[in-house]
Structure 1
Amino acid sequence: MGAEPLLPTANESQPAAPLILGLQPAALIDHVARVDPSLLDRIPGDRGGSMPVGMEELENILREVKSYILSSPDVLTSFKTIAGGSVANTIRGLSAGFGVSCGIIGAYGDDQQGKLFVCNMSSNGVNLSRLRMIKGPTAQCVCLVDAMGNRTMRPSLSSAVKVQANELTRDDFKGAKWLVMRYSIFNMEVIEAAVKMAKQEKVFVSLDLASFEMVRDFRSPLLQLLESGDIDLCFANEDEAKELIGGEKDADPEVALEFLAKHCQWAVVTLGANGCIAKHGKEIVRVPAIGESKATDATGAGDLFASGFLYGLVKGLSLEKCCQLGSCSGGSVIRSLGGEVTPENWQWMHKHLQIKGLPVQEIPQ
């Protein structure tokens, strides 16, 4: 069965093109749990990082997590299931927290997880008219978070449905201003097709470097993508930036920033608790982290940084203010579990934006 676009309902027929589109070939559901080391010791693989697993093993881990939580009333635990994926996090943040018209391009399965993804994204105001339904399973990931906010992830992606390059059309990109993507060697055909069509429609392209492992292991095709000149904005965290310029531990992130800026109009390197550095043209800015908060869960920090930065760009703000928006937005999501900002943490963010004199939308309910 081929991909079927999710059709708009009668009262939203022919919606205006979203200002910002996200390309996430495979919809993803995150099962996020706060756990202590005793559970992590029972999960296959090393702590930290991400290790792919089959669907049967993912379901076994989920049963173990739920059993652990039910039997540990005296341990600080919590559990949530939400739409996940880096691009989905960014798009949801732009729509729900900043009021930007957003849509997502990709595919979800005809299963309960696919329905959950659709429900979560649509309830946050994301346009789903470019999201296809394909017969098969929706991708899932178990995210285990320890007391320090560190993550151990077990994704099951190999058998999941995803949109293919030949299923994209120029109509998917028509009328948009920005396309948001995440680098993945496993989606290169889709990425390359999307970039080509986006450029034909005069859409700006934003790329997140995804992970230092992805940069290290597949650096050559990444360099080709950057050197094409089709990437207008690139986000990298400090580890990804170092891998990009050779992987030296003591490498200066500013060197990576300069490298990115040779190929992209806007280049940004996030530095965790040390804020970020960014360059546009000849201008370079360094912005400290905003707000003091111990990370409950680092999931989505970079994704929500991108939400704030892109909001600043579409508002025509200065590079420094774009970075401040990104820093504050990224800081809001680490205050709770999962890559979705709660209404309380949107309020925290808006308070800090007002202190900085930055534009804010109505606080989500």
Structure 2
Amino acid sequence: MGVEIQQKIKNENNNNDSNDDGFAAAPAPLILGLQPSALVDHVARVDWSILSRIPGERGGSFPVAAEEMKFILSEVNTHVTASPETTSPLITIAGGSVANTIRGLASGFGVPCGIIGACGNDDQGSLFITNMASSKVDLSRLRLKNGSTGQCVCLVDELGNRTMRPCLSTAVKVKADELTTADLKGSKWLLLRYAIFNIEVIQAAIKFAKQEGVYVSLDLASFEMVRKFRLPLLQLLESGSIDLCFANEDEAAELLRWSDNSVDPETAIEFLAKHCQYSVVTLGSKGCIARHGKEVVRIPAIGEAKAIDATGAGDLFASGFLYGLVKGLSLEECCRIGSCSGGSVIRSLGGEVTPENWQWMYKQMQTTGLPVPQPDNFVI
């Protein structure tokens, strides 16, 4: 099954060894991302009117059924607006929050990274593999299955705000009983994104990570996901298994809305710090606030940049922050690098940083006295 795609993975990893599934073998990546279903993003600039006709709240990210996805795509194809930043008003790239973070770490920071998940043997799957492999992401833990690859429509309004509607109901995915300790062995960090429909595989991955001494990072996904499935999320945090938690301001507010406490970022950081070694709340154009133990830092956004598209801003912030952590930098430096990398992706359409915008980020880091990564020569 999917022999051509399997061979592509082997060729692009340039390794003759393979595991039992036929994928190219590789040393354990420093950072692994769990994205149970590979995902392809369809990113388009749209006007306000289309957002009023699609299901769900504007600005969030919540799953839709296959028929809803078809409707949204048809609306997009009819009403999509052109962008001065791209020759096409609609771009299609490998997507998903975890994939965005992993790809950024590998291509922009040179950190050895891999992804755990499943990919369909279809055109979207082939696109996902090609895009991630070209960014030097290890794909040896990506299972190839007969079926469809997940898709997501990312609608970007004239202010650069994005509304996301993923469709994973028919997508192939890696299941909890398919994971083993071998998937995590030798790595240092495991990155997760909260999703109730992936809760079993998330729990299994955390179990194996802890057995292998791997740190766990959790992104809260979206305010809609937190609002609708707050209790399982609280249970996950209270388990003490999450070492690092990322939330944006809206997600943090939803997380604390059940209590009588105020929902400001400082209160959210204090709450998350009870359960996680590191906690970060991103504040968009206002920067971020982070805590490690008793240390709390708050930094402004770095660099002047008009947001063309906010897609991936939090994901790339996580890339920079994690780069700082694995390099042993201070909490403040981690936040500043995260601010630089988050600022780099919003300068163009989609969740992938362009070569020009990586150079913009390196310049920002150099100007502010931060250590500039050497992507082709990463050393711990």
Q: Same fold (TM over 0.5)?
A: yes
Of the three residues 113, 127, 149, the one matched with 1:138 is 149
1:297 and 1:336 in contact (8 A); partners too: yes
1:179 and 1:203 in contact (8 A); partners too: yes
Tell me the equivalent position of 2:99.
Answer: 88
Which residue type is aligned with residue 274 of structure 2? K
* Equivalent residues in 2 for 1:232-311, closer than 5 Å: 232-246=243-257, 251-311=263-323
1:6 and 1:131 in contact (8 A); partners too: no
Shift of 1:266: 0.7
Which residue type is aligned with residue 150 of structure 1? N
- SS at 1:9 equivalent: helix
Which residue type is aligned with residue 275 of structure 2? H
Tell me the equivalent position of 1:9.
Answer: 10
Shift of 1:242: 1.6
* Equivalent residues in 2 for 1:120-135, closer than 5 Å: 120-135=131-146
Point out where structure 1 has 5 or more consecutive residues left out of the alignment. Answer: none
Point out where structure 2 has 5 or more consecutive residues left out of the alignment. Answer: 18-24
Mark the CA change 1:259 to 1:342 in structure 2 (over 3 Å): closer, same or farther. Answer: same
* Equivalent residues in 2 for 1:306-321, closer than 5 Å: 306-321=318-333
Q: Confirm or deny that 1:156 pairs with 2:167.
A: yes
Tell me the equivalent position of 2:41.
Answer: 30
Which residue type is aligned with residue 293 of structure 2? G
2:179 and 2:204 in contact (8 A); partners too: yes
1:95 and 1:125 in contact (8 A); partners too: yes
- SS at 2:234 equivalent: helix
2:193 and 2:220 in contact (8 A); partners too: yes
Please provide the CA RMSD for this pair.
2.5
Tell me the equivalent position of 1:201.
Answer: 212
Shift of 1:205: 0.4
Mark the CA change 1:352 to 1:249 in structure 2 (over 3 Å): closer, same or farther. Answer: farther
Which residue type is aligned with residue 114 of structure 1? G
Q: Confirm or deny that 1:223 pairs with 2:234.
A: yes
1:32 and 1:81 in contact (8 A); partners too: yes
Tell me the equivalent position of 1:346.
Answer: 358
1:209 and 1:234 in contact (8 A); partners too: yes
- SS at 1:199 equivalent: helix
Mark the CA change 1:112 to 1:249 in structure 2 (over 3 Å): closer, same or farther. Answer: farther
Distance 2:276 2:48 in 1: 42
Which residue type is aligned with residue 233 of structure 2? L
Greater alpha carbon shift after TM alignment, 267-276 vs 21-30: 267-276
Deviation string, structure 1 residues 91-113 (Cα, Å, up to 9, x no partner):
00000100000000000111110
Deviation string, structure 1 residues 288-321 (Cα, Å, up to 9, x no partner):
1001222111101110000000000000000000
Q: Confirm or deny that 1:109 pairs with 2:120.
A: yes
Q: Confirm or deny that 1:358 pairs with 2:370.
A: yes
Distance 2:52 2:253 in 1: 31
Shift of 1:267: 0.8
Distance 2:53 2:235 in 1: 41
Q: Confirm or deny that 1:181 pairs with 2:192.
A: yes
1:208 and 1:236 in contact (8 A); partners too: yes
Mark the CA change 1:74 to 1:172 in structure 2 (over 3 Å): closer, same or farther. Answer: closer
| TM-score, scaled to structure 2 | 0.88
Which residue type is aligned with residue 134 of structure 1? K
Which residue type is aligned with residue 238 of structure 1? E
Shift of 1:9: 2.3
Which residue type is aligned with residue 86 of structure 1? S
Deviation string, structure 1 residues 97-130 (Cα, Å, up to 9, x no partner):
0000000000011111011111110010000000
Question: How many residues in Structure 1 have an aligned counterpart in Structure 2?
Answer: 360
Mark the CA change 1:335 to 1:178 in structure 2 (over 3 Å): closer, same or farther. Answer: same
Shift of 1:220: 1.6
Which residue type is aligned with residue 120 of structure 1? N
Distance 1:99 1:318 in 2: 19
Deviation string, structure 1 residues 22-46 (Cα, Å, up to 9, x no partner):
0000110000011223554665666
- SS at 1:49 equivalent: coil
Tell me the equivalent position of 1:331.
Answer: 343
Mark the CA change 1:346 to 1:15 in structure 2 (over 3 Å): closer, same or farther. Answer: same
Distance 2:236 2:79 in 1: 44
Mark the CA change 1:199 to 1:137 in structure 2 (over 3 Å): closer, same or farther. Answer: same
Distance 2:68 2:247 in 1: 31
- SS at 1:142 equivalent: strand
1:6 and 1:128 in contact (8 A); partners too: no
Which residue type is aligned with residue 9 of structure 1? K
Deviation string, structure 1 residues 52-93 (Cα, Å, up to 9, x no partner):
4433443454344345459x7999972210011000000000
- SS at 1:231 equivalent: coil
- SS at 1:137 equivalent: coil
Deviation string, structure 1 residues 254-310 (Cα, Å, up to 9, x no partner):
111011111111111111111111111111111110012221111011100000000
